[in-house]
């Protein structure tokens, strides 16, 4: 693997979650030490839950300056924040409610807004206001957490979606035909501007798509188009998901 691309394969989903939690904490400590703040975008789906649990359980001893973290979301479903499907709701219940964070610095996506396009634009403006821009003028997150769907999607960037080619907007609303639902999602220009990207993928059902993304770099799969312009990409896998590598 190159300097910019790393792979960690852990013996179980729990060990992969622990590795991701360690990277998560270390990124915050380093960013706050160097720049006095840390901007993070959380992933959705079910995989991050073990990592959230880990971060919450170890908050009392982790020496992490949680109060200096600006927390965003990589994507969100078109449901209220207290819905079981809400990426924010899951993060809040499993992690945020148990951390000494500054709630003023937590920014949920309003993906259940009536006007999703305006809500996406507003979210992009919050990011532009809060997250310092990198050399190319794009807000530069310290860490973007991502998952990988069985069809190779990541965030809410699905195969064959017209937003895969979005080159200007940083946050967009989209309809996902395969789900029959609307989503709000960060786009590749914003994701790939991040200092660090961690893609946490576990489970035997992901082995095929992991091989296509990591070994084949199959560009028909959105997850294979995650590539930091000047940062690092760290795949954190369990042995089941890495089975075909």
Q: Which residues bind ligand 6PG (CB under 6 A)?
A: 43-47, 74-75, 87, 147-149, 153-155
Point out the residue whose Cβ comes nearest to ligand 6PG: 147
| Sign of the alpha-carbon dihedral angle for 198, 49, 13, 76 | negative
CB of 46 to ligand 6PG, least distance (A): 4
Judged by beta carbon, residue 20 or residue 64, the one nearer ligand 6PG is 20
CB of 230 to ligand 6PG, least distance (A): 23
First to last CA, the chain: 13
CB of 67 to ligand 6PG, least distance (A): 26
Supply angle C-alpha 123, 82, 44, rounded to 5. Answer: 55
CA distance linking residue 96 with residue 222, whole number of Å: 29
- CB atoms under 10 Å from CB of 154, counted, come to 30
Judged by beta carbon, residue 60 or residue 84, the one nearer ligand 6PG is 84
Smallest CA-to-CA distance from 111 within 72, 78, 75, 74 is with 78
CB of 153 to ligand 6PG, least distance (A): 6
Residue 2: partners with Cβ closer than 8 Å, 6 or more residues away: none
SS3 26: helix
CA distance linking residue 106 with residue 40, whole number of Å: 10
Whether 195 and 234 have beta carbons less than 8 Å apart is answered as no
CB of 74 to ligand 6PG, least distance (A): 6
Judged by beta carbon, residue 100 or residue 150, the one nearer ligand 6PG is 150
Judged by beta carbon, residue 155 or residue 174, the one nearer ligand 6PG is 155
Q: What is the dihedral of CA 177, 182, 186, 189, to 10 degrees?
A: 40
Judged by beta carbon, residue 76 or residue 124, the one nearer ligand 6PG is 76
CB of 33 to ligand 6PG, least distance (A): 29
Judged by beta carbon, residue 102 or residue 205, the one nearer ligand 6PG is 205
């Amino acid at each position: 693997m190159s300097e910019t691309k790393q792979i960690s394969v852990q013996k179980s989903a729990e060990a992969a979650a622990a590795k991701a939690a360690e990277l998560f904490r270390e990124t915050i400590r380093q960013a706050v030490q160097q720049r006095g703040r840390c901007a993070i975008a959380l992933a959705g789906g079910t995989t991050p839950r073990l990592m959230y649990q880990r971060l919450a359980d170890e908050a009392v001893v982790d020496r992490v300056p949680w109060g200096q973290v600006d927390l965003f979301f990589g994507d969100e479903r078109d449901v209220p924040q207290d819905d079981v499907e809400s990426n924010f709701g899951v993060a809040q219940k499993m992690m945020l409610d148990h951390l000494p964070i500054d709630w003023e610095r937590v920014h949920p996506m309003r993906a259940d807004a009536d006007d999703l396009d305006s809500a996406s634009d507003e979210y992009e403006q919050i990011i532009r206001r809060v997250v310092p821009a990198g050399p190319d003028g794009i807000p530069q997150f310290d860490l973007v957490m991502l998952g990988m769907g069985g069809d190779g999607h990541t965030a809410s960037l699905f195969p064959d979606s017209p937003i895969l080619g979005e080159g200007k907007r940083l946050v967009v609303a989209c309809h996902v035909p395969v789900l029959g639902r609307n989503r709000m999602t960060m786009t590749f220009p914003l994701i790939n501007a991040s200092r660090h990207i961690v893609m946490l993928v576990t489970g035997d059902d992901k082995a095929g798509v992991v091989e296509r993304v990591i070994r084949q770099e199959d560009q028909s799969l959105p997850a294979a188009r995650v590539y930091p312009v000047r940062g690092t990409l760290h795949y954190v896998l369990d042995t089941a998901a890495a089975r075909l590598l």
